[in-house]
Structure 1
């Protein structure tokens, strides 16, 4: 049964059709990669799914609930987490405090001048840092973290609302290859252990081929291909338009034969 159902999603900017009649589904506990060349409409799709941009037409239903028209904070409270291409953390806070802030927001709690939030939800924050392997860095200032650690911290923040759906926009961008594999393995473990559904965009085909259950390929705002890794890799349109059909694709075939 489909958990996320996207139907006829379209959005134009100044006469340019950024996303054009995109439809797809995502099951519970499924990891779907949304791929395509630069300018294909991937991030625009993400922004519509998360309420940042409102589509000109179309529907986005999460477990039967319509998301179009809702604000990001409302969508977040329905159980949707998101990570971004560029990490979004509070650099003036520690690693643990960043996660605590997300937990406080999820609990809808505020603190005034006479109430300190320093110790609130610290145990829960430490549990999330355990999951991403950063418990030992809990009290480090965020502004001294390596980029790969910032990406892992952002994942912990995204998990603070116990998401049913996790949207990850180029989660491994800027990371070294070992860090990429480690982060995506962690994501795959969450899918397996928690039944979390994950939709992610990614340019690293090694990551895509190794961890995805299915692939959705966009080109110029439209769905070019959809299916299993094997089906998409064999699709002649994908070879020609996205993967190039030349040495780059041949290298991918060799690496993943």
Structure 2
């Protein structure tokens, strides 16, 4: 069964049609990138899937269940995790404390926070931090970390909900090129190992061409192309309106990196 299906999504803001008949599907363990120029409708589509926006038309199906317009908290409880363009963490907490809080919320134990919350789910939190390469920094205040490490912790926080679907909004924003490559390689490995479907928006074409299994290209709210990285790279319309020379170079780098 398809993990996620968007069927004919439409969204209007006043007289502006931000998404027009947007349809796609995502399977478990697959990474699907949504790309396009500014104002293409990427965030609008992303937020309709995550529950931040209610579509004006169409529907969102999660493992065959209609979740259209459900609030983000409900969508999360159904097995959807999310990371944000600007990392969402508790800066006054330690690294492990951030992950523990996510685990407490996932297990529905927020009423127990009057007790010793930091004694709860430590082993599970450390396992998640180890998975993202941050276990050695578990006791550090998160405010002391480099931004690339904060993004890794945010990934651990998202994984604390044991998601089947992970939504990642500009996951490499604000990161150095080497950090971007490392983070996306980590996400790709986790997705395939744990059979998590990943839907992500991204401006870094190196990250897209290196790690996406399929790509969806939006322009002015409409899909103009879809397919494998190679198919999208060679699409004349995509080259004309979006990728151009920079996209070709990114695709070439991705092919060299993968032999």
- Deviation by residue 1:74-101 (Cα, 9 ceiling, x = unmatched): 1001100000011110111111111011
CA distance in 2, matches of 1:253, 1:87: 27
Unaligned 5+ residue runs, structure 2?
none
Residues 35 and 201, structure 1, Cα contact 8 Å, conserved in 2: yes
Output aligned runs, 1:88-237, within 5 Å. 88-111=88-111, 115-237=115-237
- Deviation by residue 1:101-131 (Cα, 9 ceiling, x = unmatched): 1100110012457522110011101100000
Q: What residue is the counterpart of 1:31 in the other structure?
A: 31
CA distance in 1, matches of 2:110, 2:87: 24
Give the stretch that moved more between structures: 114-123 or 235-244: 114-123
Residue aligned with 2:10, SS? strand
Residues 206 and 251, structure 2, Cα contact 8 Å, conserved in 1: no
Query: What's the CA shift for 1:205?
Result: 1.0
2:40 matches 1:40: yes
CA distance in 2, matches of 1:175, 1:113: 34
Equivalent residues, number: 255
Unaligned 5+ residue runs, structure 1?
none
Residue aligned with 2:9, SS? strand
Per the normalisation by structure 2, the TM-score is: 0.95
Residue aligned with 1:151, SS? helix
Query: What's the CA shift for 1:69?
Result: 2.6
CA distance in 1, matches of 2:6, 2:246: 31
Residues 205 and 251, structure 2, Cα contact 8 Å, conserved in 1: no
How large is the Cα RMSD of the aligned pairs?
A: 1.4
CA distance in 2, matches of 1:37, 1:127: 38
CA distance in 2, matches of 1:134, 1:63: 32
